[in-house]
Structure 1
């Protein structure tokens, strides 16, 4: 039997579900042989075939897929592509070969439904009517899509209101190796490890942006989604803090994880849990997690007082842990060192002290922060998951109004603005480092907007910050935000987005294909260009095209800062 599926084409592209009819080609003595074939007009990344035979068949064999469902009476089958057969280019015939047997004298006929699982069925939340000052780029849309990116990074049991149709529950056994429930949190980047330090740093920065510019989220219709976004990692940190002097800071092994290309829903490798303790301290990650929880307290203290108080209690314990047991977490947890090696814990000491003071108004925390300030005095290198100098100096100025902290900020932006020590690309990006240059520029744009709110050079800082955010949104001639603006990236280095819908298989073949991802990773900010604005949208280029939770945190908060200015008709011209 040669079975040919004549597939209907809609507007030059295959419909997601197409009813097809089997054409019998060859049969003999109760046997049949054939293939299902069609030539797609566009590349696909996975398929499923649902077959209904007119009479029972048995001993059904084929070489291109796996049966994920078989009807006991032999009339209904669901076939999904094998790993090596899922990706298929446009213009080439796809053959699905098959042999089988039937009983009786009636030769089987069949109808089938071909499902192209490349299809992305995700729908976007509605946006409110624009309010405030007219803007070059739609900040409401950027905020909405950045929040979708964080939803796509969720690990664990997903909520009923999960907005990412192509993500499901994953890593539900996290923590079983140590007898604790460590499910939840965010996957770090395009991979599936949960790294505590960048996750906590991202949470603090997002919470800070919400505290500073809550009206931006209200005006854009994203306030409830923002609360959900921040609560997801905070819930995880509460689980990870299993004792006053014990914090789990990583789940998953980076080496094993980076050897796997597929969905987190399908992971089978071991996911070991790593902690810090009194014998293996981590002042940096304990301090940053304390800061995240203190910021979370401030976010939720009026919305959910009981939850907020729980966060604050954990924040105080973690702060004391970081203060009383000194050490770098990446020394105590070597599994983290190859990915997020910490350079110092002095900046987290200032940062955490500031956030605990912000949450409690207890002068002892501010005194601690000021005591550690000499270690971070002067112009700041930048702001990142590891570098807290710029943000800590700004908080110290916010609380004390001392000129020494203001001068640190002023010196920082002398270095960062044109004419300073930072390299600028020809199109205007403040280019700090090859890895994630957009991340550093956006983090510093956020802090510049906050410094302007506190009265430090507001006109020049706001104009500079807007130039950096607008570079990412399109001023460079293209967008660097997936699913937004002109010519955005379509192949970010991200496993989940590159994989077709379940139940299709996914492997390194999907990392290597030159086709766009089957799923749009809305809102994700890619690492960014080289120092000459050089950038090619390639999935394999994890330097320029990977995404990460900490890349989006300062970026999203900076966009909120610009939205706040637009609401109040204060955007620079």
Structure 2
């Protein structure tokens, strides 16, 4: 007969199961209710998100430029150093071209197309998505002037932030900064490698020659970053106050190797991801954010979702199989922490309105990147026929996607303020985005020169909305209490960045595809 201790264990287990079921039900019932308050056009959001990248272009703008209030800028970039560095993207509301966040932006745009290219195409936006990627990769080809040299920044943040000028009027320093063997920068070399490897997959069918060129640069950059290891913000101190590498370069090296494996299928890259898992931190600790600086969660989910890598893993030694399983386990930890279903204090914070909250400064970047990773992970689970198992219960792919939809709907207006944080979407959105070009009269309308101080005195401080709507920009978003201050000097909330919007291209495409499918069935 079963003893008292056995019966107590069974009763305790039944209580745990019931409690977990209640938690899961309440969690998704709450978010489903929040999401149902409004119905959003995700296809429109996708279209507008891609338009934003045209507003961020540096260089000589093409004849089919759709953001017509912008003009040519940065046309002498690199001249002082004897290299052509015209082009690329301004990262946010200023005019510095920071290589690390620019490369991450292109990686995420490319990953969006790799995973959801068909959905983007069915929405009629594939051409614009490819143009957004190519504007970045064309610049990286120029910046990678030699195998062991990469120009990683153009402009100086300190002088730039003392000015409020249109990009067409720039009088601030356009000094260019490089990494090389004597001054290594593994983070930016590896992230640029990842961007070009991911983009090589995107262009494989439509432009095979360009795809091959990108892959060649990616392989060289990865070898450079791995052989000559060092933190890029030590070699380029000018970047430290703006894009300091807190996580180090281990995550970027693993990230680049994982993308090169996906692009080539070559054994050496698979071996790198497995053999360096511990030394570079890929499986050593669970993280609850994914960003331009911290790529570990991206590596873990990329490995978990790479069926080619996992199939190869079936033929590996037990130790190597175990490492791949640890990557998958860390990916699961990240997803559980976003869902607030982890067993420890690693759960991501929430605002009272339900938005994921990591930190005050530009929090929406973490929401966007989490939404993308969870979307990819839900697809991976669906294809594998599996569920997510967290400490607080088990969930299916559709439940994870329901949570993503709730986060996206919050962005688009289903929140306590009824405000869309995607600029230009809906009837109520930020009107005073912290952005020099959008907040100042267009050079095409008024060609008179606007100086640094004049820009602050006349345009930055004015209370009226910006002359131009920065369509598709995802601003920093509300604070921890769902509060938002729509002023240009509230830059933690009103500044937008390219790496905020980039992950949303794939998420919007996925949600638009699902809505179309549901409407047809």
State the TM-score, normalized to the length of structure 2.
Answer: 0.82
Matched, 1:394 2:298: no
What is the aligned counterpart of 2:158 among 255, 260, 267? 255
Give the aligned partner of residue 425 of structure 2.
484
Deviation readout 1:500-530 (Å, 9 max, x if unpaired): 1222554112111110000010010000111
Deviation readout 1:52-83 (Å, 9 max, x if unpaired): xxxxxxxxxxxxxxxxxxxxxxxxxxxxxxxx
Give the aligned partner of residue 84 of structure 1.
none
Counterparts of 1:391 and 1:433, CA distance in 2: 19
Counterparts of 2:463 and 2:104, CA distance in 1: 33
Counterparts of 2:277 and 2:193, CA distance in 1: 18
Structure 1 contact 330–342 (Cα < 8 Å) conserved: yes
Give the aligned partner of residue 282 of structure 2.
376
Q: How does 1:315-334 map to 2 (within 5 A)?
A: 315-334=218-237
Q: Secondary structure of the residue that 2:276 maps to in structure 1?
A: helix
| CA positional deviation for 1:555 | 2.3
Give the aligned partner of residue 308 of structure 1.
211
Matched, 1:410 2:359: no
Give the aligned partner of residue 409 of structure 2.
470
What is the aligned counterpart of 2:252 among 334, 348, 351? 348
Counterparts of 2:468 and 2:513, CA distance in 1: 31
Q: Secondary structure of the residue that 1:338 maps to in structure 2?
A: helix
Give the aligned partner of residue 26 of structure 2.
none
What is the aligned counterpart of 2:397 among 452, 458, 463? 458
What is the aligned counterpart of 1:531 among 473, 480, 486? 480
Q: Secondary structure of the residue that 2:77 maps to in structure 1?
A: coil
Counterparts of 1:540 and 1:309, CA distance in 2: 45
Structure 1 contact 350–370 (Cα < 8 Å) conserved: no
Q: Can you give the 5+ residue segments of structure 1 that lack an aligned partner in the other structure?
A: 1-134
Structure 1 contact 283–328 (Cα < 8 Å) conserved: yes
Matched, 1:445 2:371: yes
Structure 1 contact 511–539 (Cα < 8 Å) conserved: yes
What is the aligned counterpart of 2:268 among 358, 364, 373? 364
Structure 1 contact 443–558 (Cα < 8 Å) conserved: no
Q: Higher strand proportion, which one? A: 1
Counterparts of 1:304 and 1:216, CA distance in 2: 20
Q: Can you give the 5+ residue segments of structure 2 that lack an aligned partner in the other structure?
A: 1-37, 311-323, 382-387, 389-395
Deviation readout 1:404-423 (Å, 9 max, x if unpaired): 22211221122121355221
What is the aligned counterpart of 1:220 among 95, 117, 123? 123
Counterparts of 1:348 and 1:265, CA distance in 2: 34
Give the aligned partner of residue 276 of structure 1.
179
Counterparts of 1:528 and 1:302, CA distance in 2: 38
Give the aligned partner of residue 558 of structure 1.
507
Distance 1:505 1:487, change over 3 A: farther
| CA positional deviation for 1:539 | 1.1
Give the aligned partner of residue 193 of structure 1.
96
- Using CA pairs below 8 Å that are at least 6 residues apart, which structure has the higher relative contact order? 2
Give the aligned partner of residue 167 of structure 2.
264
Structure 1 contact 253–335 (Cα < 8 Å) conserved: yes
Counterparts of 1:568 and 1:390, CA distance in 2: 30
State the TM-score, normalized to the length of structure 1.
Answer: 0.74
Counterparts of 1:349 and 1:229, CA distance in 2: 24
Distance 1:370 1:566, change over 3 A: farther
Counterparts of 2:50 and 2:333, CA distance in 1: 33
Q: Secondary structure of the residue that 2:174 maps to in structure 1?
A: coil
Give the aligned partner of residue 11 of structure 2.
none
Give the aligned partner of residue 467 of structure 2.
518
Give the aligned partner of residue 148 of structure 2.
245
| CA positional deviation for 1:217 | 1.2
Structure 1 contact 493–545 (Cα < 8 Å) conserved: yes
Superposition CA RMSD, Å: 1.6
| CA positional deviation for 1:350 | 1.0
Q: Secondary structure of the residue that 1:141 maps to in structure 2?
A: helix
Distance 1:536 1:278, change over 3 A: same
| CA positional deviation for 1:535 | 0.5
Matched, 1:136 2:39: yes
Structure 1 contact 379–412 (Cα < 8 Å) conserved: yes
Give the aligned partner of residue 150 of structure 1.
53
Rg comparison, structure with higher value = 1
Q: Secondary structure of the residue that 1:528 maps to in structure 2?
A: coil
Q: Secondary structure of the residue that 1:435 maps to in structure 2?
A: coil
Structure 1 contact 417–430 (Cα < 8 Å) conserved: no
Give the aligned partner of residue 13 of structure 2.
none
